[in-house]
Every structure is written in structure tokens, then in C-alpha cells.
């Protein structure tokens, strides 16, 4: 089969690799119909300390069941399914609580050993899915491939951020970063009752998209002025950091009100960050981190999409064939596109 492979720092190519095989009774093999290039993929190939050359990349996918192991009960050949971006056993103490990311048997598709034992990714014609009954979710009629592919990570992450923020109706929410996760976090916040959502983003086209989808857009230099104007000087009730690292957290702390909540969902490459603990204590701030989880939140995500409350396809800039994936990676890394989908 053909797949997108990591070939060196910042570089990918399409090549032929062996087809995946059922190796555990709970496995399924999915024939991929749609995959996506994610910011985490860009981070993976740029910071590849734990990613061997030749790794099959990708973790956002939707497709049809091509084969199942003898223990799989919830899926049959030909079923259309969407996969979570990581695996979990579904039976341990963490999984029973809905904390699948903490599962000791977690593996993250297409990222080498960055987040657990390596597991081949989904930017491929076929992908093996361990714990298929837990990791895969049926795609109902009326949800198209281009929408379904967002359920496993990008939309799940935006939703997790909003839920962790514990919004109250009418709250002012700031989203730092107008990439795909930030845009969908903005849409979810609006759907879940936020009053005003402000998206802070330096790229004009991305600010424009946020505005067209109901948010207030501002560049970082004017963010504090805009937020103070909208809140009579208080600051935002909740700030979602959708970029990660010190810049995202520093911006979030600058915009949140006293007793406000900051939720960070951007990938963090830095091992440490000097948190302003004096202000955090004096202002009773809450800082949380969140990771999207289709396995936990699938019903809510599907409800948002099926109802029309959130249309995740608004962030899809292009759809390319598999051979076009390397150029799609480059365009996304250069911020010339927002989100690339791969059609099979």
C-alpha cells in the first residue's frame, strides 16, 4: 500500500509500505477514505526526536472497516467509522472514568514514540486500529467524510477546551490562535452559550475566517485593548490557548480576568515555563490543560455536527490526493493554507 512517510526533519514523502495485519483479536484494519494533515503532524516532523525515519504519519482519519479481529463486536466489514487519534484499552481504571489519554496502553497514531509506543499512522491506504471497539465510532448517515475526519482530533480538542473552561451562558471567551483548533474552539464556544468570542490571530485571512463565523477577530498587538473594551476592563472570563508554548500562555494570562479560567490545548515543546504564580494566587486564576477525546465525547461531537451547530469543514482549505500530501504539508507549515484533507 502507499502512505505518507517521515523522511527527515521537516520532510515527508509518499512511498509503498507493507499492508497492516491483524495482530491482536481486538484489532481492526480500516481502509482510509479521508485523512487530514494536522498541526500535530507539523510539530512531529519538525521535532522528530522520537520519530524514526520511515514512520507512517497521520492520526485523523475516517474510512471503512476492511478486516476485524475475532474479538471485535461493534464493527463489521464495510462499516463507515471515524477513529480517535490515539488508542486506549477501554477497560482499565482510567478508561472507565473517561480519562482515555491516561490509559497505560495508550498509543498515538503516526507520531513515533512521542506519546507512547509507536503505532503506524493513518495517512495511508490502510491503518491498523488496536482496541477497535473503543477507538472507532460509527459515522451516522448525514455526516460527510469531510466533517467526520475532524471528529477524532481537531473538533474533539476544541470541544475539550470549551468543556474544561466550564463556560457560563454569556461568558466572554478569548481563543489565542486562529488555526484549525482555535477556529473550531470558537465555534464550539458559540454553540455552547458564549456571549462574545474573540480570536487572537496574526494572519489576516485567519482572522477573517473567524469573523465570518461569528467571532471578533484581532491581531495580537491589539488584543488587550479589544478585550478590555468588550468587558469594561475586566478581561475575558475564559481564555483558550490553542497554540501552546510560552507565547500562548503569556497571552492568555494577559487577557484573563480575575478568577478567570485558562485552558491550554496547544502542543507544548518547551519542558518548562515561568508561571506568574504571584498573580495566579492573588487573582485566584485557574490554569488547565486538555486533550481531545473522541472516545469520551463522541456523542456530543456528533450532536454538534448533525444539528448544524458546528460545521468543522469551514477550516478545510483544500482536498488533495495522496500524492499531493508532501506539498500540502509545506503549504500548511508556511501558513499558506489552514487545513489540508487527503482523499483516497
Region for residue 38 given its phi and psi (left: phi exceeds 0; alpha: psi -120 to 50; beta: otherwise): beta
Q: 241 with 223: CB under 8 angstroms?
A: no
With contact defined as beta carbons under 8 Å apart, do 166 and 241 qualify?
no
Locate 6 and state its grid cell: 517521515
Lookup: cell for 103: 490509559
Sign of CA dihedral 111, 115, 119, 124: negative
pLDDT of residue 267: 87
Query: For each successive 10 residues of the chain (344 residues), what is the average pLDDT?
Result: 94 97 98 96 89 97 98 98 98 98 98 95 98 98 97 98 97 98 98 98 97 98 98 98 96 98 92 95 98 98 97 98 97 95 98
The fold for domain 158-289 equals Rossmann fold (3.40.50)
Q: What is the pTM of this model?
A: 0.96
Please report where in the chains the cell 482510567 appears, as a residue.
94
- Helices 180-191 and 154-165: angle between axes, nearest 10 degrees: 50
CA 202 from chain centre, in angstroms, equals 20
**Per-residue confidence (pLDDT) for residue 161, from 0 to 100:** 98
Instruction: Say how far apart CA 102 and CA 120 lie, in whole Å.
Output: 20
pLDDT at 200: 98
- The CATH number assigned to the domain with range 2-153+293-343 reads 3.90.180.10
Structure confidence at residue 270 (pLDDT): 87
Q: Where are the domains of the chain?
A: 2-153+293-343, 158-289
pLDDT at 144: 97
Closest CA to 342 of 32, 34, 15: 34
Amino acid at each position: 500500500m502507499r502512505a505518507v512517510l517521515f523522511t527527515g526533519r521537516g520532510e515527508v514523502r509518499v512511498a509503498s509500505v507493507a499492508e497492516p495485519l491483524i495482530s491482536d483479536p481486538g484489532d481492526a484494519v480500516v481502509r482510509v477514505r479521508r485523512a487530514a494533515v494536522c498541526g500535530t503532524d507539523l510539530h512531529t516532523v519538525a521535532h522528530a526526536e522520537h520519530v524514526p525515519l520511515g514512520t507512517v504519519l497521520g492520526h485523523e482519519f475516517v474510512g471503512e472497516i476492511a478486516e476485524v479481529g475475532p474479538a471485535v463486536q461493534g464493527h463489521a466489514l464495510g462499516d463507515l467509522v471515524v477513529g480517535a487519534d490515539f488508542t486506549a484499552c477501554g477497560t482499565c481504571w482510567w478508561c472507565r472514568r473517561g480519562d482515555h489519554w491516561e490509559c497505560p496502553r495508550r498509543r498515538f497514531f503516526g507520531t513515533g514514540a512521542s506519546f507512547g509506543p509507536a503505532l503506524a499512522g493513518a495517512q495511508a491506504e490502510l491503518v491498523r486500529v488496536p482496541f477497535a471497539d473503543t477507538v472507532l465510532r460509527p459515522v451516522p448517515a448525514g455526516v460527510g467524510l469531510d466533517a467526520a475526519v475532524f471528529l477524532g482530533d481537531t473538533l474533539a480538542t476544541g470541544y475539550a477546551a470549551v468543556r474544561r473552561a466550564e463556560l457560563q451562558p454569556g461568558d466572554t471567551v478569548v481563543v489565542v490562535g486562529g488555526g484549525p483548533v482555535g477556529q473550531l474552539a470558537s465555534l464550539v464556544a458559540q454553540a455552547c452559550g458564549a456571549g462574545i468570542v474573540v480570536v487572537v490571530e496574526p494572519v489576516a485571512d485567519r482572522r477573517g475566517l473567524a469573523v465570518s463565523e461569528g467571532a471578533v477577530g484581532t491581531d495580537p498587538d491589539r488584543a488587550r485593548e479589544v478585550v478590555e473594551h468588550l468587558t469594561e476592563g475586566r478581561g475575558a472570563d475564559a481564555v483558550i490557548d490553542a497554540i501552546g508554548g510560552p507565547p500562548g500562555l503569556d497571552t492568555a494570562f494577559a487577557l484573563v480576568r480575575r478568577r478567570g479560567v485558562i485552558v491550554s490545548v496547544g502542543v507544548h515543546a518547551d519542558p518548562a515555563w515561568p508561571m506568574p504564580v504571584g498573580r495566579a494566587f492573588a487573582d485566584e486564576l485557574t490554569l488547565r490543560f486538555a486533550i481531545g477525546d473522541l472516545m469520551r465525547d463522541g456523542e456530543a461531537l456528533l450532536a454538534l455536527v448533525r444539528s448544524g451547530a458546528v460545521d468543522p469543514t469551514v477550516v478545510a482549505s483544500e482536498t488533495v490526493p495522496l500524492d499531493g500530501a508532501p506539498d500540502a504539508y509545506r503549504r500548511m507549515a508556511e501558513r499558506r493554507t489552514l487545513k489540508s484533507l487527503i482523499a483516497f
